[in-house]
Every structure is written in C-alpha cells, then in structure tokens.
Amino acid sequence: AAEEGFDVEEVEGAIEEAGHGPLPVLAVVGRPNVGKSTLVNRIIGRREAVVEDRPGVTRDRVTYEAEWAGRRFKVVDTGGWEQDVLGIDASVAAQAEYAIEAADACLFVVDATVGATDTDEAVVKLLRRAGKPVVLAANKVDGPSGEADAATLWSLGLGEPFPVSSLHGRGTGDLLDEVLKALPEAPEQRFGNAVGGPRRIALIGRPNVGKSSLLNKVAGEERVVVNELAGTTRDPVDELIELGGKTWKFVDTAGIRKKVHLQEGADYYASLRTAAAVEKAEVAVILIDTSDHISVQDQRIITMAVESGRAIVIAYNKWDELDEERRYYLEREIETEMQQVSWAPRVNVSAKTGRHMDKLVPAIETALAGWETRVPTGRLNAFLGELVAAHPHPIRGGKQPRILFGTQAGTKPPRFVLFASGFLEAGYRRFIERRLREEFGFEGTPIHISVRVRE
Ligand code: GDP
Ligand code: GDP
C-alpha cells in the first residue's frame, strides 16, 4: 500500500469505516408534540426531512442515519404519527412498541414544560417491559429556568432526565454522549440468539399483497410462537417455522396478521412496521401483487430494504390469477420497475394454491449466501487488475484515474473499499459493481463500494 501513495493508517482507517455491518438502532419515542421530530433533526444534523408543518400529512420516511463522535447509528423517528381511531394512548403505545422492538436503545422524549402525563407513564411501562437501555430527554428546556422542570422527571423512574432544547440545540451534545453509552457497538444483541440460531426472515410488502396468506401457507399448523416481549398488549411477534428441514424465525408476524385499520397515519404506521421488520431481519422477502401494477409504494418498500442492506428475495404473488396477456405486461413492468433489485432471486408463487412454495427456501438461502460472501483480497485484486487493464477509466482533463487496489471491508452485506489515484465517475463505479456481480455472484444482496482517492 505504501508505495501506491496510501499510508498504512489511512488504509486501515478506510477499511474500518467501510466495514461496519448493520448499524445499531435508536428509537425515538414519546407523545405527539413533545418535539421528537425536532430532536431527530438535531441528531441527524440536517434540516431536511422530518419536521412536517402541515398537520395530518404523513411521511413514509422512518429511519435515518446519524453520526456522533465518530460513531454511526440509525434513528427511528416515530414523530410522523397522527392520533388515530385507537385514541391517543393506544396509538402512542402501538407506535412505540414497534419502534422499541426494532431498537437497541430508546430515547424517550418528554415535554418538560408539561411534565409527566398519563400517556408518558404508559410509555414508561412499555420501556420497562422491553428491558432495553433508555435515555430520558426532558425537552423544551430552552434556558436555565427550565432546569427545575426537567428535574421533576426523575419521578418517571428512568434515571437522570437530560434537559435539552431540540429547537435551539441546548444540551443535545450531552444527550448524544449518553445515547452512545446506551447503544451497543454492534446491533447483534437485538437479535438474541443470533449466532448459530435460526435465520431471521421478514415478509414485507404493501397491504393486501398476500403476506399473511403466504405466512399461513408456509407455516401450516407447525408454528411456534416466540414471545420476546412477554406481557405486551399486542400479539406475540416472532414465529419459528420449519421449512426445508430447517427452522427459520419469521419476524414481526403480529404486524402481518393483525389488521389495524387506521385512518390518519395509516401509511406512516405501515412504514414504521416495515422498517421495524426489516431492522430485525437478515433477509427480506418482498411480496409483489402480480394482479396489480407495481406501484410507488412497492418501490419505497424495496428501497427501504436495499438501504438497510438486507438480503432480498422477490416473491411475485397471486401467480394463479395471471393470464397470458397480463403476464406479458408484467414481465415488461418487472424489467423497467424492478431494476434496482435485478440481482435478487425471484420466485413466482401463489399463497392461495401453494404454487412454488418449495422454491422459497432455496431463494432465501441463495440470498443469504450472497449477503455473507467474502472475496479474498488476493482474488479481488487479481480481478481488479485485469478489469482495469481491459477497461481503463476514461481520461478526464488529461488525467486517467486508476484503481490501485481494493479490499472487502465487511459482509452482511458485502462492503468494498477501492483505493484510487483519482475520482471515479458514477458510470465507472456502476460498471465495477456490475462486473463484481458477474464475477463473484452476490445474488440477492446489495453491495456497497466506497472509493478512497489518494491526495
Ligand atoms: P413530535 O410530534 O413529538 O415529533 O413534535 P415536533 O418535533 O413536531 O414538535 C412539536 C412542536 O414543539 C413544534 O412546534 C416544535 O417547534 C416545538 N418544539 C420542539 N422542540 C422544542 C424545544 O426544544 N423548545 C421549544 N420551545 N419548542 C420545541
Ligand atoms: P396482506 O395484507 O399482505 O397480509 O395480504 P393478505 O394475506 O391478507 O391477502 C390479501 C388478499 O389477497 C386476501 O383476500 C387473500 O385471499 C388474497 N390472496 C393472497 N394471496 C393470494 C394468491 O396467491 N392468489 C390469490 N388469487 N389471492 C391471494
């Protein structure tokens, strides 16, 4: 590395930075209007996105990446929620439960100017039962005079309340230091028996694509319910199901079975549920309803799974309803609309008739194998050497950037760092990704490629 112009420390740093697996997840929970979204904006350090000024307008973005003191994590914002037909307590509880379940630690936001309400107490109960680390933010402490209000929140029994002003930024640094202490380095502890335990599958897709039908079909009678949140108000969430001679854990199946018909906030609720399921899973089986057109909502769900870096299988459901003509147009639609996951294994199934249910497990196994693939550095560099010799980067401004060497920094999903003598254009990066896939497979997995340029 040294003779190529990168020093050892630089290379090691780049590999470490690129190599992280799934990031730990922080759930931000609390009543409406306590300032969750404002605080999330502070945490992610951008003004974009979260605060929605028009009441009743729902967002479908739920998770954001954040970084503090050099550590990266994900933030699940539950601030997009509107009170619904369930009533305020039930809806706050329902959203908090989903978010808490998918999280490694929770940030509980209370409005210090109001003090602890009954709804806050209800959330405290959920937090206690979940048993995950909690940091308590006493928000809207805009000046020193509010500190006393914050102190009264000791009464919640969650330890020290951290006074903050999400609006002005006051105290948020100390709060984030505390959040980092609460978050594990890696999210594996959320998965419980992750090492050697059953693989975790999330069935996702928009409403009515056939998620619960598919679950019922594959599970038959043999389902073992795993109640990880004992005593919660909701159905148990994860189920152990035997398929193809192995036990699999289907995560968040309560969300699949239980039909909560919400008026306002229904889209947001669906997004939160999908995000939570994806966070808990290693592989996402995304269902597409072939009796309908592939929609923007399908695309969003796919994007969520890809951005989370999960292994992916696409199940085209309701195959029993396809006639010749629709099938013709479906294939055209798949070509154009499903490009972002053209690498994902595909199964054409019918949850109704049981068609091709036996193909599901092999597809899942293929995707997981791709997700865990590690390419030895020697092989990777031999490949890169040949590739660059045969297809050099186009010359720009009299210079020709070269890839000097590369390494795979991590798996789940595969992450690569390429060290180059100059900036690599997007088109060339895509070309590299395509060739990497051709050479090494990576079926069913997103891959990340970052490029370091020699100064
Ligand atoms: P959410 O429903 O919990 O996500 O709450 P929002 O983030 O939408 O905030 C609700 C209202 O409280 C908005 O009008 C915010 O501007 C206001 N707010 C949020 N944080 C603070 C704060 O630290 N101080 C003050 N004074 N107002 C705040
Ligand atoms: P979910 O909302 O994604 O869980 O979808 P459901 O499993 O509740 O299914 C929605 C509707 O589609 C129900 O009426 C199902 O009977 C129907 N359905 C599900 N899978 C199939 C299938 O493979 N073929 C047909 N024809 N209908 C299906």
Any ligand 1 atom below 6 A from CB of 274: no
Conformation bin of residue 18: beta by default, left when phi > 0, alpha when psi is -120 to 50: alpha
Express the helix, strand and coil content of the chain in percent, nearest 5 each.
40, 20, 40
CA of 35 relative to ligand 1 center, distance in Å? 3
Which of 28, 38, 54 is the best mutation target for the ligand 1 pocket, counting ligand atoms within 8 Å of the beta carbon and taking the most? 38
| Residue whose C-alpha is closest to residue 381's, from 348, 407, 344, 411 | 407
CA of 317 relative to ligand 2 center, distance in Å? 8
Any ligand 1 atom below 6 A from CB of 167: yes
State the complex-level ipTM. Answer: 0.79
At residue 333's C-alpha, the angle toward residues 330 and 335, to 5°, is 115
Backbone dihedral angles phi then psi of residue 425, each to the nearest 5 degrees: -65, 155
Backbone dihedral angles phi then psi of residue 396, each to the nearest 5 degrees: -130, 125
Any ligand 1 atom below 6 A from CB of 33: yes
Any ligand 1 atom below 6 A from CB of 320: no
Residues 6+ away with beta carbon under 8 Å from 2:
8
Any ligand 1 atom below 6 A from CB of 142: yes
SS3 418: strand
Shortest-distance atom of ligand 2 to CA 257? 4
Ligand lying nearest the CA atom of residue 257: 2
Please give the structure tokens belonging to residue 93. Answer: 């509880």
Q: Kind and range of the H or E element at 199? A: strand 199-204
Shortest-distance atom of ligand 2 to CA 353? 23
| Residue whose C-alpha is closest to residue 394's, from 423, 370, 372 | 423
Q: Residue 217 CB: number of other CB atoms within 10 A?
A: 18
pTM, 2 dp = 0.81
SS3 194: coil
| Residue whose C-alpha is closest to residue 421's, from 405, 397, 409, 398 | 405
Q: How far apart are CA 307 and CA 279, in angstroms?
A: 11
Each residue's pLDDT tens digit, 172-187: 999 999 999 999 877 6
Q: How far apart are CA 133 and CA 107, in angstroms?
A: 9
Are 153 and 138 in contact by the 8 Å Cβ rule? The answer is yes
Q: How far apart are CA 30 and CA 38, in angstroms?
A: 12
CA of 224 relative to ligand 1 center, distance in Å? 43
Per-residue pLDDT of the chain (455 residues; tens, 9 = 90+): 444 677 778 788 778 777 777 789 999 999 888 999 899 989 988 644 444 444 444 455 678 889 998 888 999 887 655 555 556 666 677 777 778 888 899 999 999 999 999 889 988 998 998 889 999 999 999 999 999 999 999 999 999 999 999 999 999 999 999 999 999 877 665 554 455 688 999 999 998 899 989 998 988 765 665 555 444 444 557 888 988 889 999 987 767 765 554 444 566 777 888 888 898 899 999 999 999 999 988 998 999 999 999 999 999 999 999 999 999 999 999 999 999 999 999 999 999 999 999 999 999 999 999 999 999 999 999 999 999 999 999 998 888 899 999 999 999 999 999 999 989 999 999 999 999 999 999 999 999 999 998 86
Any ligand 2 atom below 6 A from CB of 42: no
Q: How far apart are CA 164 and CA 168, in angstroms?
A: 9
Each residue's pLDDT tens digit, 20-66: 777 899 999 998 889 998 999 899 886 444 444 444 444 556 788 89
Residues 6+ away with beta carbon under 8 Å from 196:
none
Peptide bond between residue 413 and the one before it cis (omega within 30 degrees of 0): yes
Residues making up the binding site: 30-37, 77-81, 139-142, 205-212, 252-256, 317-320
**How would DSSP label each residue in 415-445?**
EEEEEESSPPPHHHHHHHHHHHHHHH--TT-
Shortest-distance atom of ligand 2 to CA 350? 23
Any ligand 2 atom below 6 A from CB of 301: no
Give the pLDDT of residue 454: 80
| Sheet (strand 415-420) strand order | 403-410, 415-420, 448-453
Residues making up the binding site for GTP: 30-37, 77-81, 139-142, 205-212, 252-256, 317-320
Are 119 and 30 in contact by the 8 Å Cβ rule? The answer is no
